Amino acid sequence: MARTPLIAGNWKMNLDHLQAVAFVQKLHWTLKDAKHEDGSVEVAVFPPFTDIRTVQTLLDADKIPFALGAQDLSAQDSGAYTGEVSGAFLSKLDCGYVIIGHSERRQYHGETDEVVAAKVQAALRHGIVPVICVGETLEQREESGPTAVSVEQLRVALAGLPADADVVIAYEPVWAIGTGQVASPEQAEEVCGALRAVIGEVLGADAAERTRILYGGSVKAANIAAFMREPDVDGALVGGASLLVDEFAAIIRYQKHVGV
Ligand code: PEP
């Protein structure tokens, strides 16, 4: 089964709603000018919550074929949870995806594997595909090897899900996020292959075959093609480079790079 590649831009806490409009329009025009074939790669943008309504309206009005996602959601559906955002609200704003368990949320907001699992369930309750982030720190890699931490994080996140659950996994080694210290394609493949095996064990062979696994961590136009040649890497979760129109467009157009 061919998995449609997914190139996802995590804007983090960057670009207000006005800047978001300019950015999305420019990205769309840049891809059109380059005669990018829309169906070849799925493109998703993950703006801050305050931009989502504006970006949704723009995508809809201008028929821009980008998917929309949020960077987090509440494990709860409604009620007295000040500052939280329900999956129900995101779903009404046409968010097809939500990032869950990004290392910055695990690190700065104390999100445990159990919280991540509860948020995955919340996303699925509202028909939103969770982009489940896993990855090890440098110390963890030295202590327990390249795959152990990500494998355990994924096992907890997937526990109890039905075999037909629609999820995306992002392998993001913490030491490669925003550092410029990119993993090698072989390192990414080693962990992504192990994660696919976990999906197979927990959700079954069909799920392992259809689920997309992304690599994230200092992805740029210059290194994306090598990752995409790996059999278990189905796309990228891009941070810093997703804020640069030309760079992000070149990442999306990786199939045109030499040697792919
Ligand atoms: C990220 O934060 O998900 C990420 C991969 O960031 P960067 O591309 O900047 O390393």
* Chain segment 74-117, per-residue pLDDT in tens: 999 999 999 999 999 999 999 999 999 999 999 999 999 999 99
Domains, in order of start, for the chain: 6-257 (3.20.20.70)
Atom of ligand 1 lying closest to residue 133 CA: 3
Which CA distances in Å does 141 have to 69, 136, 148, 230, 254? Answer: 30, 6, 8, 21, 29
Which regions in the chain score pLDDT beneath 70? 1, 258-260
H or E element: which one contains 203? helix 185-203
Percent of the chain with pLDDT over 90: 93
Catalytic residue among 172, 189, 190, 230: 172
Q: Please confirm, yes or no, whether 36 is among the known catalytic residues.
A: no
pLDDT at 88: 98
Please give the Cα distance from 73 to 257 (Å, whole number): 35
H or E element: which one contains 167? none
pLDDT at 1: 64
| Encoded tokens for 15 | 């670009």
User: What single letter denotes the amino acid at residue 225?
Assistant: A
Q: Please confirm, yes or no, whether 28 is among the known catalytic residues.
A: no
pLDDT at 260: 46
Please give the Cα distance from 108 to 94 (Å, whole number): 28
pLDDT at 38: 85
Among 122, 32, 126, 38, residue whose Cα is nearest residue 75:
122
Q: Are the C-beta atoms of 183 and 217 separated by less than 8 Å?
A: yes
pLDDT at 197: 98
